[in-house]
Amino acid sequence: MGTGSSLLEQISARHRPDVFRQEHWEGTFEEYLEIVRETPRVTRTSYERLYDMVISYGSTPVEGRENLVQYKFFDDPDTGGRDAIFGLTRPLMELVNVFKSAALKYGSERRVLLLHGPVGSSKSTIARLLKRGLERYSTTDAGALFTYGWRNEDGTVTWCPMREEPLHLIPVTDRADVLEFLHAGQADKKDPYFAEISGDLCPLCRFMFNEKLKTADGDWTKVVKDVVVKRLILSEQDRIGIGTFQPKDEKNQDSTELTGDINYRKIAEYGSDSDPRAFNFDGEFNVANRGLIEFIEVLKLDVAFLYDLLGASQEHKIKPKKFAQTDIDTVIIGHTNEPEYRKLQSNEFMEALRDRTVKIDVPYVTKLADEIGIYEKDYNPKRVRGKHIAPHTIQIAAMWAVLTRLEEPKHAGLSLLQKLKLYNGKTLAGFTMDNIEQLKAEAKAEGLHGISPRYVQDKISNALVSNAASTGLNPFMVLNELENGLKHHSLIANEEIRDKYSHLIAVVKEEYTDIVKNEVQRAIAADEEALTRLCGNYIDNVKAYTQKEKVRNKFTGQQEEPDERLMRSIEERIDIPDTRKDDFRREIMNYIGALSLDGKSFNYKTNERLQKAIELKLFEDQKDTIKLTSLVSKVVDADTQMKIDIVKGRLVRDYGYNDESATDVLQYVASIFARGDAKHK
């Protein structure tokens, strides 16, 4: 009882009455004018507000030559990254630039924003983030906006159905004087905005205004004394300022879904179907006034809807049935996929829409690290409980997905996998940043085809469920699901594409094999003492060789020629040919000398290439003593088992495996060596 009570107290403490009162502020029109005078940003247009909302989260420049900017808003910090967007820095920057242009009234505010890309490329997520962001922003001081209503004789209030800007109440003839008053002293204010009045009253408010003007003998200052102004909080759930429209069956579509409809029950009360009080201003455009409207699959709209959409974007007006054109202020965002967009291009009836559309391409991710981020959002230790996800499982699935989206490089000698690694930031001999930019420029449709992240997510989920007997998930389980699912993939009708994707499964399996072979090799050769000893021995011999000296034998004490066989056995591990050995050895000695001048000492970890060579050499020396191949047989002696357990312990401690996955990986690598397939690179 006491615990429950304290919990309720904690929850109650979060709901502060002062914040509630601020969000639900009500006042007079005169008080609102003072708010505008002090804080003119409350009168911003929907585009200005949307742009300011995105910018308020901050941004960071992205390293590189392209001068890209990453907007933190799209990392979804408010929900811990649940809807974070990965790898779309350029498209999101283009989108925010359109917001900025529209906010500055450069013309983009009169366009439909069209997010165009393949299925599952985050178009809906971007729209959802913007809608949720506007909702939250409207609750803050920085994002405050207001609307108004009419006080009736019985004390009730008839709120403006379009939730429009209260300054619309000022007659056109008086607006210049009011704006002069509002702008007075604005240069000294911190708020950079100036109040503007654009648009007129909605049909209902126009009716109410004229009725009250009659009783006030034409004095509008008396009319606004009956006006109640209140704070406006946007909410998609409550249909306030956030609208969503999804095309339905053509027979069931009606343009009143966008612009509202007659309330037939009230016609009897008010006597006419052209009385605004007998009209429901509840279409999606009415709802979305002052905020944002999302058109899902916008190009599937019936042509009858097209005129409403064009008027709303170009003229910022809609035409409710039986009424004059009505001003609206809303951001219009639609999204569509490639087949629907191709229809738009070939449909002459849609030419007007094409002319009023700003298209933003939202492709699939083509950088491996970003694709991994998408899956790790859903498949991590917090979300997947009771199952250990083996190292590289997500990486290999992501690698396959990205490979399906890349176009074959035109550069001779460059494989698709190498191209993936270049895009992911890995350096490759002979390739500069200019080369990588050229590769991207040559592949114009890259990222607009391939496998959707949803498909991979579905198959990872299947692998988790179908391997219930196992306590973990490994790459082979996921790859099997990915390959088997291709036969039934509804979006892959082309047998040639299916064969290509199957071949890429084999490519990533081979890459995974190389990765785990390297890990097992490093785990076996992770004897610090032995590595340091071997490196010291190599350096002693290289020093003697380059300085044309002899080496003292540690056992006999005699001076001997440098051990050429030892040096070459290490250098061959990293493909140093015999003709390059002298250069490599001089490079090592120069490197050691340079470190010494800086007061630093050399060890085998200082030089990455030498470290790899030393580790591979030690692995070769030790793998026979460990008898790794005995893992594939059932008989293992105690001494070998102890050595295997040490290696397994290193895999668990240093590489993120658990006992089961470490055993699996050791047995897999052992089976490769047992077949004599090992290729030490």
Q: What is the per-residue DSSP string for 592-630?
A: HHHHHHTT----TTTSHHHHHHHHHHHHHHHHHHHTGGG
Average model confidence (pLDDT) for the chain? 86
CB atoms within 10 A of CB 161: 20
Band (pLDDT 50/70/90 cuts) for residue 607 is confident
The phi, psi pair for 99, rounded to 5°, reads -60, -45
Residue 498: is its pLDDT beyond 80?
yes
pLDDT, position 680? 44
Q: Angle formed by the axes of helices 528-546 and 581-597, to 10°? A: 110
Residue-wise pLDDT tens digits, 48-102: 999 999 999 999 998 776 788 999 999 999 998 999 999 999 999 999 999 999 9
Contact at 8 Å (CB) between 570 and 614?
Answer: yes
For 604-626, what is the mean pLDDT?
77
Helices (H) and strands (E) in the chain, counts: 28, 19
Higher per-residue pLDDT: 353 or 419 = 419
The secondary structure element, H or E, covering residue 422 is: helix 416-423
Strand partners, 317: 327
Q: In whole angstroms, what is the distance from residue 169 CA to residue 171 CA?
A: 6
Residue type, 332: I
pLDDT (0 to 100) of residue 106:
93
CA distance 631 to 524: 14
pLDDT digits 0-9 by tens, 12-48: 666 666 666 677 899 999 999 999 999 999 999 999 9
pLDDT at residue 1 in the model: 46
Identity at 134, one-letter amino acid code: L
pLDDT value, residue 679: 47
CB count in 10 Å sphere of residue 123: 25
In sequence order, the 6+-apart residues with CB closer than 8 A to the CB of 468 are none
Total count of residues recorded for the chain: 681
Which residues, including other chains, have CB under 8 Å from residue 268's CB and lie 6 or more apart?
none
Q: Is the pLDDT of residue 643 over 60?
A: yes
Q: What angle do CA 545, 550, 552 make, to 5 degrees?
A: 125
Give residue 678's pLDDT band: very low, low, confident or very high (50, 70, 90). Answer: very low
DSSP states along 113-172: EEEE-STTSSHHHHHHHHHHHHHHHTTSSTT--EEEEEE-TTS-EEE-TT---GGGGS-G
Domain layout of the chain by residue ranges:
368-513, 523-674
* Contact yes or no for 290/330 (Cβ under 8 A): yes
Q: What is the mean pLDDT of residues 444-456?
A: 90
* Beta strands 331-336; 292-296: pairing state: parallel
| Segment (H or E) for 574 | none
pLDDT above 50 (res 247): yes
pLDDT band at 303 (very low <50, low <70, confident <90, very high): confident
Spatial CA neighbour of 48 closest among 166, 268, 196: 196
Cα–Cα distance, 372 to 402 (Å, whole number): 10
Q: What is the DSSP string of 514-566?
A: HHHHHHHHHHHT--HHHHHHHHHHHHHHHHHHHTT--EE-TTT--EE---HHH
> Does the pLDDT at position 349 exceed 70?
no
Q: pTM of the predicted model, to two decimals?
A: 0.83
Integer CA distances (angstroms), 532 to 184, 386, 538, 613, in order: 77, 40, 10, 13
Question: What was the pLDDT predicted at 636?
Answer: 64
pLDDT of 308 reads 86
* CA–CA dist 577, 566 (Å, integer): 15
